[in-house]
Structure 1
Amino acid sequence: MPMDKPYFLVLKDTQMGGLDLFMSQKQGINWSVPQNLGYPINTQDDQVALFITADGQKGYYSLEQDTGERYKKSKLVEITLPNSLQAKIQATTYLKGIVTDAKTQQKLSAELELVALKPSQTVGKFLSDAKTGQYISVLNTSGEYALFVNKQGYFFKSLHFDFSQTHALDKVLNISLEPIQKDAKEILNNIFFATNQWDLQPQSTTELDKLVVLLKSNPTLSVEISGHTDDVGKDADNLILSQKRAKEVMNYLVNKGIPSNKIKAEGYGETKPFVPNTSDENRKLNRRIEVKFL
């Protein structure tokens, strides 16, 4: 359970009687003193195993009642949580989508890895369904994420998104995987540079290391690493910057054991935009590193 969410537990209560549901919350490195959820959730009977729905509005628990015999009688109870309790519960948000073959649209079973970028750490690994291609994962905290998708015989896909819990909406990312073949290309969405700089930022290593694994598993293939910019600044400066960034990526791969004769680094400046340079969002998409199989 995420450490910033309420934690529900069952304790013996001396005032209301029986087993009651309590709530405790993380406070720094400690937990708060468990608080009885009170009536009408708790009564003189035993309440156990509270489950809260994803929207944080309803709850279900098992009501254990004495029968006067050897065994207790259990009943599933549905409740609408009091507003005071709903305010303390963060609604669950999901990352979900469908993985398909980019050429045939066939649904694919693929390995997915969700990585929080600041700091860089894996928060989940899961599979998409072989029949439907669907996947789903819980997004516990706000921040920047990378999603890596791998399947043997395909170029791995990397996606980057900034998730804000203030909107509490599910994030939907449908993913198309390109088969590994000549002229197949992919944008590396999790390669980061400072403005007008070509030094790789630390959070770029996760994606680059996955590219290293891919190239080592396909040793007969050669690749082109291409750098691209938006249209801000002088054409000549953008061309030089894109060349230096592509070369920096190539140097990383060579230092990780990829033969230099298998890699070609090219800079195209602003000459090959991915989308029109008509907005800040589009310009961000045009500042990119691409990999192409030769």
Structure 2
Amino acid sequence: MDIYREITPLKNQDVLVVLDSTNNGFDYPIHNHPEYELNLVMGMSGTRIVGDSTERYQDFDLVLLGPYLYHKWDGDQLLQEKGPPYRVITIQFAMDLFGSHLFQKDRFLPIRNLLTDSRRGIKFHGQCLQEAMRLMIGLTEDQGFTNIINFLQLLDLLSHAKEATLLASEGFSPQALRNSTNRIQLAYSYILKHFTNPSLRLEEVSTKLNMSPSAFSHFFRKFAFRSFSQFLIDLRIGHACKLLLDTDDTVSQISAKSGFNNLANFNRLFKKYRDCTPIVYRKRYLEKSAFDWTKQSTPWQFMPKDSRNLAHVNPTEYATRLKHY
């Protein structure tokens, strides 16, 4: 399956770019890019895809996306054709923006943690969404250096949000657990390294931590909010979803590469947790990724993976209102 790469308008000299569009449609494929993205949809309802998460959104939607995380928003066709005006504001900034010595200071730790979590996609709602919406609308107007201050204020707001939900599963975007307890960090890192091994057992991990299986089971549930076996299933199903989208491997091959000891068990668990078979899951995403990249409104904005050797350049114009800060 082709996952298109978006060529974003971000330039080396930019801190961020803000794209602001009204009634501009959602005619683009499932795609990714190396930049972080904060996307706000106002006045529209539809379906949102982030990694292996597919959800309905209603009226307002705010999501922070980490680098290379697959995503796409659809808008309800009837609302696009006959509904009131709708607006989408998108903020994009580079992976290395917060890599300087200044941003390694303790005051920026919540923002760095926010960006780490964004690799699974984060949905914000409630009062946080309302406050973030006000700041993002303000960023569509050029106010000089004030925009940079407001951008940092926006990230600080999101980094302390209680009204937030992670979207993609751990297995789709595996990463080390951010937790102050070193022991659970070690357990999580070991599981991430070995979860594709079908023989991985709770007893093996507990031995690495010098704990009895019973003590480790209670300890793990306390921090992971689910049993070890459930956590392992979630990891493996998420990883299988990524392989279904990233590769042309057969379902049998993906089952083996995801740590399942037999195909029947994989199919049963996949259907239980994704409400469809692996084949249907892949087919649905293929339908969502259908896109004639030669006819896009902004030339060279979305590139299929087999075009990597073409001598393309960044778009000179974008179909939306664009601000560089």
TM range (shorter): under 0.3
Q: Pick the structure with greater CA Rg.
A: 1
TM-score by length of 2: 0.21
Larger strand proportion, structure 1 or 2? 1
Higher relative contact order (Cα pairs below 8 Å, separated by 6+ residues): 2
Larger helix proportion, structure 1 or 2? 2
